[in-house]
């Protein structure tokens, strides 16, 4: 069954539309995009872990559960994070970085 799904996915990614370049390997392009998104998601996880440590250093605990939730979500679904989830996570990280800067002043 797993092999069948993989072959279906391959066929779906190899179907070209009239505007697509037949010289380009779209399966490879899609794999690259997934790989890049996975890498960026893991980078966000690292940033969140650092933020969590910094907040603990300042003895601020009101963001811990939210940060841990994002870390769990991103780590568990790193292969399946779509653009919308990634954008939300990125906004959250930015917000937490602003909060940390307020504490450092």
* Residue among 14, 34, 36 at smallest CA distance from 26: 14
Q: Residue 45's pLDDT is what?
A: 95
Its pTM stands at: 0.71
What ranges do the domains of the chain cover? Answer: 33-105
Residues in Cβ contact with 102 at an 8 Å cutoff, skipping those fewer than 6 apart: none
- Give the model's confidence band at 99: pLDDT under 50 very low, under 70 low, under 90 confident, else very high: very high
Q: Residue 68's pLDDT is what?
A: 95
Cβ–Cβ < 8 Å for 74, 81: yes
């Amino acid at each position: 069954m797993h092999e069948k799904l993989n072959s279906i996915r391959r066929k779906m990614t190899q179907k070209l539309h009239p505007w697509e370049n037949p010289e380009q390997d779209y399966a490879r392009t899609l794999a690259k995009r997934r790989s890049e998104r996975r890498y960026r998601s893991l980078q966000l996880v690292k940033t969140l872990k650092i933020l969590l440590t910094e907040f603990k250093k300042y003895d601020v605990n009101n963001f811990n559960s939210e940060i841990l939730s994002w870390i769990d979500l991103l780590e568990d679904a790193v292969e399946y994070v779509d653009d919308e989830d990634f954008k939300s996570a990125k906004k959250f990280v930015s917000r937490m970085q602003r909060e940390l800067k307020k504490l450092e002043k």
